[in-house]
A and B are shown apart, each in its own frame.
Chain A
């Protein structure tokens, strides 16, 4: 009898193909290696910096001998129990306490609930009561906890780079203020965080020093959008996108679902994507962009277009809309825009315009918020003509107070009239536009005081550096994007005695600098309640926000003349056929560079490019061919005298004459994590060209640079079409009655179900845990990955280890491109969160020689770390490649010290990093396997709570439906991940797993997964020229419906 070898049915090579990378599309040897091996050749060798395996064994022998000499250390170390002297109210050792707070940001505050254990904040979640985020958060909020504990945070007051103290600073400050007179020599520069208390103190400061200058700068902020709103709707107005009301959305160079939007937009969009059946109405998204973004990935129709042609596109579209609506003024406005003649796909523009016009009042056009003011103003005019004003595009009184720009402040500085400059947050020396020459201007100020969380490039050039308090350390406040007032409670004393900007400003204004008093006064002003401790204050702290404070919408009308003037003032953009444009994109991880020292963010793969620990010049395959470069080749991007050298990353779906580079990399004055990671492109950015720079030359240098891209890691035999299923609304409607429509797509249409040779223990608990992932609302933002990292104590491994495929994320978001005939230019994109599928017939369990991974009766594939001996058989046998191995003691070593010999390397984690760890999750050591546990610590806590509640009552202990959830489901801004008890008929998961769209990955393997994916639905406009390409169901290689026996010979063959 021969051994039965399972042969996977081959993927069809005809029809639409799904690919993770160009390597896969071209079937490169590198890709085959990633697919066939869990880790690349040699990844399990210690081929590191200085130690070979043989050398390592010699060292090991020595260390065993040394260990033998110190047997005394076998005694159990003495541990102390240290109770409080006086009990603290609410504090129960080992139990979590939750506080409402807020993370201030440029798009308003993110309402939060902070989890603290014994006084240490360990995790933040969204405030479930707040209407803006309803308990969800984003990547930045999740990773902000790590910023708090960053051991390289600024810890002391510095004067001229030398340690000073607050007493010395206060003395200096008094002197400065006494000499200030009417404030003519004072200047302030703040970041763009929305803070009512700071605004109030600003008024106080300006009342005391009326001639002081006040500017703000936010590199990725909405200042140009505000300027455009001012042109279109008058002074002090701002626009609010209501994607929750729009049936048809067109974005032009605006990643509204990614870094250029906010959580309200994402949630609003997702609400319109929730479908419970083929009859449900869904929104339609048209995207015009130069590179693939998350928004482009969600699009129903996508047009790739250089960012510099955004204005020309809007012009063409406006003229089409004007034709349909007969709006002469719009026609005139659009006609006024000077745009070099650009060829568009006429039919595309026509049909898009027709669709928008047909949905008048229910559609929304969004232009890039860093496009020139006139282009954005034209988009507002277009929206007005489409009846969007007041419906899908609201105009309201601006939340932030208008300030001077950084450029005008730099002018003042150059005049030498500024005696004292206060920089509150931000890092203008690093990220101000190049033509501002900020560093030079700053040097002209008499005294520069820089308040910052970290010692950065700006601190290095300031006389005084003051450590700032993290938002979790001090009383703050903010306004959510709906205008509600949120109080930021501190949850820990300032670790390094930092102060926040409110305290500093209060000192300048000469008022009581107690941050709590300052916030309470603002609270009183905003809500009209008493400033003392009151019931209203207590209520606000409990719920986290004061709802009554939502700001009023304005009844705005378009100021046609002002828009016309702005448009006529805009010079034409020229982009020659053989020229490139350079597009500055906000980074999805380090933002403008402020999060550069956050290891979680550096190691998070970019949602689209899957690049970690770097930025790169993104360009299309055609452009790369033209330049003769490939991913990893270094190119020189130059305009005039200025140039940068940066590695290329070839990205399908990119516009051909365009190169995109993320800003915020190439920091030099920063902690060890972010230092010299990537390339700084700010030197090429100018005030006039915040978004794109035309007339750029790109040339090959011949150098290579290793990029840590995870896109080919964990490839599953290339079965993209099988794993991420999708259909168009039309296909779904046609198959509305076919229960197996989505379940029998691709290989599952052919392969007979496999059978199990093993007996399995009964899964007889009252609970059964399962998860559903709705691919129709998942935008692929990777917030789940960061939440998982924070919840489950997942270490970072460093760039070198990521290149070796040793990243530790328990969860990944796979990004697939799909196209017919290997089209690299206009593929579709699908994101798929991937975690342990908790197979009931888990292949990993049967190969473990030590029973370290086994099944629990409630349906979890559990991992007992202390049994694991590290054979890695389980990872080899996992069809989903979701298991992670601790090749090194990542929790004991710094990522630069992994290869150093055990006895001479520094071990241990900084205390502050230890404080972040979730006390309910084991911190794993070297040599053990780990993987997603479905947040078993939360499951156990819920089960224990139900047992404690049942006590001796005789009630069957049962966790109530949907009473808790996993970290990834909790964070998800689109509610795409649902976790719960499949045995409880009241739970959401019990219903979702029966959904027609529900399917399980590689079902023909008979693994009986506990994760259900809900297929993606595309809603193309049948009249559009590219409508035929959308979706995949009927055009996929394998078709659908019925079990075709003809393929069974491929399956279960004998060898």
Chain B
């Protein structure tokens, strides 16, 4: 009796399985790579209503972060400055600059400037700025070298795993509280971040929530 199925069909199941594995692997790899904060978020740089340059203000002029983000040491949120804060200086300088027209409009009309949010914590996670900046976590650790950015972009992933790298090993990131807003700070000559950080962690009894979910999720 002749074979019902031709000979090539012997390999067919294996081929199908192989293709499915490749396809499944590809999809998994794609999801793993693309649907990840590292890909989705890092580099996010929306255009703002006013092309405010942190590089000029913070980097060149050396303004402290807290001049504008004034409540970062007291509140959970680091506030975006009011139009009034912009006008403190810009009522004197760059008065004709067309880029600042929205600021002047806002000041005259009382309508706020609608900045586009870049760093967004998910609704089930509660990040508290003041407890970080008062305990030696620098702005740069989460926001990158903002003082070198013309327009701010998302520099770090802000994923939970990323948070935990510091919560598990704070000594790699902690610096003296006075240097928190100094984004160019380097450990002094002859010392490593680890040495300085370890000493501070011990001295200040740094004990961030590691396994306590409620530290961030309420």
The answer on a CB contact under 8 Å between A952 and B211 is no
Contact of A860 with B83 at beta-carbon distance under 8 Å, contacts A85-B107, A947-B131, A951-B135 already known? no
Q: Is A954 an interface residue (CB 8 A)?
A: yes
Q: Is B84 an interface residue (CB 8 A)?
A: yes
The answer on a CB contact under 8 Å between A92 and B205 is no
Min Cβ gap A764→B in Å is 10
Which residue from A78, A83, A92, A866 sits with its C-beta under 8 Å from B82? A83
Stretch at the interface among B20-28, B69-77, B163-171, B184-192: B69-77
Per the CB 8 Å criterion, the residue count for chain A at the interface is: 47
Contact of A856 with B214 at beta-carbon distance under 8 Å, contacts A951-B177, A952-B136, A954-B203 already known? yes
Q: Is A82 an interface residue (CB 8 A)?
A: yes
Beta-carbon contacts under 8 Å, B20-64 to A: 40-41, 44, 46
The answer on a CB contact under 8 Å between A947 and B135 is yes
The answer on a CB contact under 8 Å between B204 and A85 is no
Q: Tell me the complex Cα distance, A84–B80, Å.
A: 9
The answer on a CB contact under 8 Å between A920 and B214 is no
The answer on a CB contact under 8 Å between B218 and A920 is yes
Beta-carbon contacts under 8 Å, A673-690 to B: none
The answer on a CB contact under 8 Å between A957 and B218 is no
Q: Is B117 an interface residue (CB 8 A)?
A: yes
Q: Is A857 an interface residue (CB 8 A)?
A: yes
The answer on a CB contact under 8 Å between A940 and B215 is yes
Q: Is A70 an interface residue (CB 8 A)?
A: no
Beta-carbon contacts under 8 Å, A68-108 to B: 76, 78-87, 92-95
Per the CB 8 Å criterion, the residue count for chain B at the interface is: 53
Q: Tell me the complex Cα distance, A854–B73, Å.
A: 31
The residue on B at minimum CB distance from A866 is B124
Contact residues in A for B77 (Cβ distance below 8 Å): 93-94
Q: Is B111 an interface residue (CB 8 A)?
A: yes
Min Cβ gap B160→A in Å is 9
Q: Is A11 an interface residue (CB 8 A)?
A: no
Q: Is B213 an interface residue (CB 8 A)?
A: yes
Contact residues in B for A195 (Cβ distance below 8 Å): none
The answer on a CB contact under 8 Å between A78 and B217 is no
The answer on a CB contact under 8 Å between A857 and B110 is no
Q: Is A937 an interface residue (CB 8 A)?
A: yes
Beta-carbon contacts under 8 Å, A850-892 to B: 854, 856-858, 860, 862-866
The answer on a CB contact under 8 Å between A948 and B131 is yes
Contact of A83 with B113 at beta-carbon distance under 8 Å, contacts A854-B213, A940-B126, A944-B130 already known? yes
The answer on a CB contact under 8 Å between A85 and B84 is yes
Beta-carbon contacts under 8 Å, A903-937 to B: 920-923, 933, 936-937
Contact residues in A for B76 (Cβ distance below 8 Å): 94-95
Contact residues in A for B181 (Cβ distance below 8 Å): none
Min Cβ gap B161→A in Å is 14
Which residue from B41, B71, B112, B212 sits with its C-beta under 8 Å from A82? B112
Q: Tell me the complex Cα distance, A922–B59, Å.
A: 37
The answer on a CB contact under 8 Å between B134 and A78 is no
Q: Tell me the complex Cα distance, A866–B214, Å.
A: 12
The residue on B at minimum CB distance from A85 is B83
The answer on a CB contact under 8 Å between A93 and B71 is yes
The answer on a CB contact under 8 Å between A83 and B204 is no
Contact residues in B for A94 (Cβ distance below 8 Å): 75-77
Min Cβ gap A466→B in Å is 30
Q: Tell me the complex Cα distance, A84–B211, Å.
A: 38
Contact of A950 with B205 at beta-carbon distance under 8 Å, contacts A80-B114, A858-B212, A940-B126 already known? yes
The answer on a CB contact under 8 Å between B124 and A92 is no
Q: Is A985 an interface residue (CB 8 A)?
A: no
Chain A, residues 946-973, CB within 8 Å of chain B (1/0): the string is 0110111111110000000000000000
The answer on a CB contact under 8 Å between A856 and B213 is yes
Q: Tell me the complex Cα distance, A186–B169, Å.
A: 77
Q: Is A571 an interface residue (CB 8 A)?
A: no
Q: Is A761 an interface residue (CB 8 A)?
A: yes
Which residue from B75, B117, B136, B207 sits with its C-beta under 8 Å from A79? B117
Contact residues in A for B117 (Cβ distance below 8 Å): 78-81
The answer on a CB contact under 8 Å between B217 and A866 is yes
Beta-carbon contacts under 8 Å, A378-426 to B: none
Contact residues in A for B83 (Cβ distance below 8 Å): 83-86
Contact residues in B for A920 (Cβ distance below 8 Å): 126, 218
The residue on A at minimum CB distance from B84 is A86
The answer on a CB contact under 8 Å between A92 and B75 is yes
Q: Is B116 an interface residue (CB 8 A)?
A: yes
The answer on a CB contact under 8 Å between B217 and A865 is yes
Beta-carbon contacts under 8 Å, A38-76 to B: 76
The residue on A at minimum CB distance from B176 is A952
Q: Is B158 an interface residue (CB 8 A)?
A: no
Min Cβ gap B114→A in Å is 4
Q: Is B115 an interface residue (CB 8 A)?
A: yes
Contact residues in A for B131 (Cβ distance below 8 Å): 944, 947-948
The answer on a CB contact under 8 Å between B81 and A95 is no
Chain A, residues 321-335, CB within 8 Å of chain B (1/0): the string is 000000000000000
Min Cβ gap B210→A in Å is 9
Beta-carbon contacts under 8 Å, B120-136 to A: 120, 122-124, 126, 128, 130-131, 134-136
Beta-carbon contacts under 8 Å, A952-1003 to B: 952-957
Contact residues in A for B106 (Cβ distance below 8 Å): 85
The answer on a CB contact under 8 Å between B134 and A947 is yes
Q: Tell me the complex Cα distance, A92–B117, Å.
A: 18
Contact residues in A for B136 (Cβ distance below 8 Å): 952
Q: Is B79 an interface residue (CB 8 A)?
A: yes
Q: Tell me the complex Cα distance, A86–B110, Å.
A: 8
Q: Tell me the complex Cα distance, A922–B126, Å.
A: 9
The answer on a CB contact under 8 Å between A83 and B79 is yes
Contact residues in B for A854 (Cβ distance below 8 Å): 211, 213
Min Cβ gap A296→B in Å is 39
Q: Tell me the complex Cα distance, A83–B107, Å.
A: 12
Contact residues in B for A78 (Cβ distance below 8 Å): 46, 116-117
Contact of A81 with B82 at beta-carbon distance under 8 Å, contacts A94-B75, A956-B205 already known? no
The answer on a CB contact under 8 Å between A856 and B82 is no
Contact residues in A for B134 (Cβ distance below 8 Å): 947-948, 951-952
Q: Tell me the complex Cα distance, A191–B4, Å.
A: 94
The answer on a CB contact under 8 Å between A952 and B204 is yes
The answer on a CB contact under 8 Å between B110 and A85 is yes
Contact residues in A for B84 (Cβ distance below 8 Å): 84-87
Min Cβ gap B107→A in Å is 7
Q: Tell me the complex Cα distance, A86–B213, Å.
A: 38
Instruction: Tell which of B74, B111, B134 has the most Cβ of chain A within 10 Å.
Output: B134
Contact residues in A for B135 (Cβ distance below 8 Å): 947-948, 951-952
The answer on a CB contact under 8 Å between A936 and B218 is yes
Min Cβ gap A378→B in Å is 56
The answer on a CB contact under 8 Å between B177 and A952 is yes
Q: Tell me the complex Cα distance, A911–B153, Å.
A: 31
Min Cβ gap B31→A in Å is 12
Chain B, residues 128-158, CB within 8 Å of chain A (1/0): the string is 1011001110000000000000000000000
The answer on a CB contact under 8 Å between B204 and A950 is yes
The answer on a CB contact under 8 Å between B81 and A79 is no
The answer on a CB contact under 8 Å between A923 and B75 is no
Contact residues in A for B112 (Cβ distance below 8 Å): 82-85
The answer on a CB contact under 8 Å between B128 and A862 is no
The answer on a CB contact under 8 Å between A81 and B218 is no
Min Cβ gap B35→A in Å is 8
Which residue from B71, B79, B211 sits with its C-beta under 8 Å from A857? B211
The residue on A at minimum CB distance from B174 is A952
10 contacts between A and B (CB under 8 A): A79-B116, A84-B82, A87-B84, A93-B71, A95-B74, A856-B212, A865-B217, A866-B217, A950-B205, A952-B136
Besides A78-B117, A82-B115, 20 other A-B contacts (C-beta < 8 A): A76-B40, A83-B82, A83-B83, A85-B107, A94-B75, A95-B75, A857-B212, A862-B217, A864-B213, A936-B214, A940-B126, A944-B131, A948-B74, A948-B135, A950-B204, A951-B134, A952-B134, A952-B135, A954-B203, A955-B205
Going nearest first, the 10 A-B pairs with the smallest beta carbon separation are A856-B212, A94-B77, A862-B214, A85-B83, A864-B213, A79-B117, A80-B114, A944-B131, A952-B177, A81-B115
